Amino acid sequence: MTVFAYRAADRRGETIDGVMEAADARAVAERLQRDAYFPIRIAPQGQPRPLLGLAWPDLGRGRVASRDLVSFTQQLATLVEAGLPLDRALAIQVELAPTARLRTILGDVLRSVQGGSSLADALGKHHPRPFSRLYINMVRVAASPGSSRSRRSSTTRSSPRSSTRCCSPASAPPRWSSSWPS
């Protein structure tokens, strides 16, 4: 078995750090979830260190690695789905950012969101790197009132005997109401 270092958040958004012995990272994640924690980072403990324990400082220049962007996206989604407010979830991500460059970008995104911008608009300030137009627009669609996530929670089904339709023109978003069949 391998020893893994982990960072996880509870339902209140407080983070904990710890170590756990398990067969693999998936087993650590399952155990944390069973204990009502949301895994943020899991890595084998004792990974190779840089030569003589020294490393070049990351001064925040350069590109954000795609694996870091994927990790940020997955972790942010997990925290938001767990019920954390967006600004708290972003603050946790700022703390956990693996590079100074990503930490700086996420700090700016957090300040914009706290200032009243939508997440998509805050990410758009950093277009094209690291957030592409596709990434920004996917965030915008996911946050829109007509997204499948919000439709699933608000759609009601009508019974066959009911004369009202579940998707009446009155319930359609305004931008679609003119083309809605009568």
Q: Is residue 136 part of a domain?
A: yes
Q: Is residue 106 part of a domain?
A: yes
Could you tell me if 75 and 133 lie in one domain? yes
Could you tell me if 75 and 141 lie in one domain? yes
Could you tell me if 76 and 130 lie in one domain? yes
Could you tell me if 70 and 16 lie in one domain? no
Q: What is the CATH number of the domain that holds 9?
A: 3.10.20
Could you tell me if 27 and 82 lie in one domain? no
What is the tens place of the pLDDT at every residue in 110-165? 999 999 999 999 999 887 788 889 999 999 998 888 765 544 444 433 334 433 33
Q: Is residue 113 part of a domain?
A: yes
pLDDT, residue 138, reads 92
Residue 85 pLDDT more than 90?
A: yes
The first and second tokens of residue 153, run together, are: 């929670």
Could you tell me if 74 and 141 lie in one domain? yes
Q: Is the pTM of this model over 0.75?
A: no
Q: In this structure, are residues 108 and 81 in contact, taking their beta carbons and an 8 Å threshold?
A: no
What's the domain count of the chain? 2
Residue 73: which domain range? Answer: 66-145
Under 8 Å CB-to-CB from 104, ≥6 apart: which residues? 60
Under 8 Å CB-to-CB from 131, ≥6 apart: which residues? 69, 123, 124
Q: Which of 67-71, 163-167, 175-179 has the lowest mean pLDDT?
A: 163-167
The first and second tokens of residue 146, run together, are: 């007509």
What is the tens place of the pLDDT at every residue in 58-68? 444 568 888 99
